[in-house]
Amino acid sequence: MVFTLNNVFFEYNKYALKDKSKVELDNLVKFLKENPEISGEISGHTDNIGDKARNRELSQQRANSVRDYLVSHGVDASRLVYKGYGDSKPAATNDTEEGRAKNRRIEFKILKLSKK
C-alpha cells in the first residue's frame, strides 16, 4: 500500500522541509507510533525539469529529510528506508505545470507488517 504525502513542501531545488509540511508529517508520526508493526519506504520524486542526475540526488535528499523528521519525532530508524527516484516514476504528465506539481512528491509505502 502506497500513500502520497500531499502536503509535504520544499523550496524549488531545495531539500529542507518547509514548516507547513509538519502537519502532514506529524500525522504520519502518529500513525507509525500507533502501528509499531509497520515498516516502510519513504520515496522522493521530482518532475522532469532539469538534469536527471540532479533530480535523482534531490529526490534522495528530500526522502532523507522526511526520514530524519520521523526519526527525530520518535519513529525507530530501523523501520524506515528511503530512496530517491528522480523523475523515473511520474504520477502525472510532465507536459503541464499541474502535472509537474503532482510529480514533485513524497510517498510512503508499507513494506512489512510484523508481529510485535
Residue 91 banded pLDDT, cuts 50, 70, 90:
very high
Q: What is the pTM of this model?
A: 0.90
State yes or no: pLDDT of 21 exceeds 80: yes
Residue 7 sits at the vertex; the CA angle it makes with 65 and 9, to the nearest 5 degrees, is 45
d(CA 29, CA 40): 12
Quote the domain boundaries for residue 91.
2-9+16-113
Domains of the chain: total: 1
pLDDT for residue 116: 56
pLDDT for residue 7: 85
State yes or no: pLDDT of 81 exceeds 70: yes
DSSP letter at 36 equals T
pLDDT for residue 74: 98
Q: CATH number, domain at 35?
A: 3.30.1330.60
d(CA 56, CA 51): 9
d(CA 35, CA 108): 14
